[in-house]
Chains A and B, each alone.
Chain A
Amino acid sequence: MCRVVDLRQAVLAKNDASALELREHLAARGTAEVNLLSSPGSGKTALLERLLERAVEAGIAVAAVTADLATENDARRLARAGAPVKQVLTDGLCHLEAGMLRGHLDGWLPADTRVLFVENVGNLVCPASYDLGESLRIVLVSVTEGEDKPLKYPTAFGLAQLVVITKTDIAAAVEFDAEAFHRNVRRVNPGVPVLATSARTGAGVDDLLARVLDCADGEPVHRPVYESASATRGTAEAP
């Protein structure tokens, strides 16, 4: 006879536990972590270069971790801003996990860091399922990717606390329909703020940095409807 064991375990329980631990650890030392998610090539590194430059100019202690399957190119680009930067190679993994990130931070992250930016692996599917202990999750999409991305990647957009449109300098050339994009974002994540930026012209960069710093100062961030359900029993909070 078989014995049936009622497990009811969240599959990502281990990552969730590491993420919670990391979140508490960072909060205790006064660092806010920002998790940047997008498709490959949406402009995460380009925008982060601008953000780091502005922050360094303003004397704000920031640091960045960038994750890729291969090459140190992104870290080299980011390091030019003068902030501490670390490249994480994921060894074939298509996303970062909380425990892995923690391993790279311990002994490296400067004690006075106010904001830690984490550029996730370019991928809109896998990284969405992994909490990294961030205080702010930003999903980026470039104007060249089409207005329907929120509908094609509902988990990523559904869990975003801030949506950032990138490469707006070429929006007209690719006939980006901002109205349709906003409609699609609202459908999967009503109320999430959307910010338009261009790393090329610098448009929106100050605004984005200001929002990140607000979050670091403890201002509440948007809570997506997606977050009200958990991975085990449906709704996260029992009535």
Chain B
Amino acid sequence: MHELSIATAVVAQVEEAVRTNGGARVASLRLRIGELAGVVPEALRFSFGLASEGTVLAGARLELDTVPGRARCDGCGREYAVGMPPLLWCDGCARPLAELLSGRELEIAEVALMDASEVARVDSSDARRRDSGEDRGTPRAVSDT
């Protein structure tokens, strides 16, 4: 389960970004995961819950964008969706596809940061909702950006 190692690396990198950019908490983060990156999104989501516990990322919404594998044939110039398992071969030209254009991404695209006043506002509205019985244990709502 290297998804836990990957989640741990994500948490460390985002913590670093929070330190350099300022911010009290991470509202959400978006990762781009290529179809061919060898990472299972569900396993990553589960691991992220564990790895983010007790950090500024705790409770952050994790968005996972899947990036399809695409490749280009040098012979006919066509671009293919390579599929899964990938077919890196052009049947028309009977030759290997020259170049994989996408599909191996394993990238932190962006993070949404809340500053201290925003955190206080979200927490107090959470508390209000809890008091009025609205909260049913759903994840903390994150304001739009």
Q: Which residues of A contact B (CB under 8 A)?
A: 1-15, 93-95, 97, 125-126, 128-130, 150-152, 154-156, 158, 186-191, 225-226, 228-232, 234-235
15 new A-B contacts at CB < 8 Å, known A6-B110, A226-B88? A2-B112, A3-B112, A3-B145, A4-B112, A8-B110, A11-B10, A11-B31, A93-B5, A94-B1, A125-B38, A126-B38, A226-B104, A229-B100, A232-B107, A234-B103
- SS class of chain B's interface: helix, strand, loop or mixed? mixed
CA distance A93 to B2 in the complex (A): 8
Cβ–Cβ < 8 Å partners of A6 in chain B: 109-110
| 28 sample A-B contacts, Cβ–Cβ < 8 Å, listed by A number | A2-B27, A2-B112, A2-B118, A2-B143, A2-B145, A3-B112, A3-B114, A5-B111, A7-B110, A11-B108, A12-B6, A125-B38, A126-B1, A129-B2, A129-B6, A129-B37, A129-B38, A156-B38, A186-B89, A187-B89, A188-B88, A225-B96, A228-B99, A231-B37, A231-B106, A231-B107, A232-B105, A234-B101
A11:B9 contact, CB within 8 angstroms: yes
B27:A225 contact, CB within 8 angstroms: no
CA distance A94 to B6 in the complex (A): 12
A189:B110 contact, CB within 8 angstroms: no
Q: Does B58 contact A (CB under 8 A)?
A: no
CA distance A93 to B111 in the complex (A): 28
A5 and B118 contact, Cβ closer than 8 Å, known pairs A191-B96, A229-B102, A231-B105: no
